[in-house]
Chain A
Amino acid sequence: GNSVTQMEGPVTLSEEAFLTINCTYTATGYPSLFWYVQYPGEGLQLLLKATKADDKGSNKGFEATYRKETTSFHLEKGSVQVSDSAVYFCALSDQGSGLTFGKGTLLTVNP
Chain B
Amino acid sequence: EPEVTQTPSHQVTQMGQEVILRCVPISNHLYFYWYRQILGQKVEFLVSFYNNEISEKSEIFDDQFSVERPDGSNFTLKIRSTKLEDSAMYFCASIDSPLSRGNEQFFGPGTRLTVL
Query: How would you classify the secondary structure of chain A's contact residues: helix, strand, loop or mixed?
Result: strand
Interface residues of A in 3-45 (CB under 8 A from B): 32, 34, 36, 42-45
Complex formed: what's the CA distance from A43 to B35 in Å? 11
Instruction: Check A96 for interface membership: any CB of B closer than 8 A.
Output: yes
Interface residues of B in 57-116 (CB under 8 A from A): 58, 91, 93, 95, 97-99, 102-110
Give the contact-size bracket for chain B: 20 to 34
Q: Is A89 touching B110 in the complex (CB atoms < 8 A)?
A: no
A54-76 CB mask vs B (1 if < 8 Å, else 0) is 00000000000000000000000
Q: Is A50 touching B102 in the complex (CB atoms < 8 A)?
A: yes
For B18, the chain A residues whose CB sits under 8 A away are: none
Q: Is A103 touching B104 in the complex (CB atoms < 8 A)?
A: no
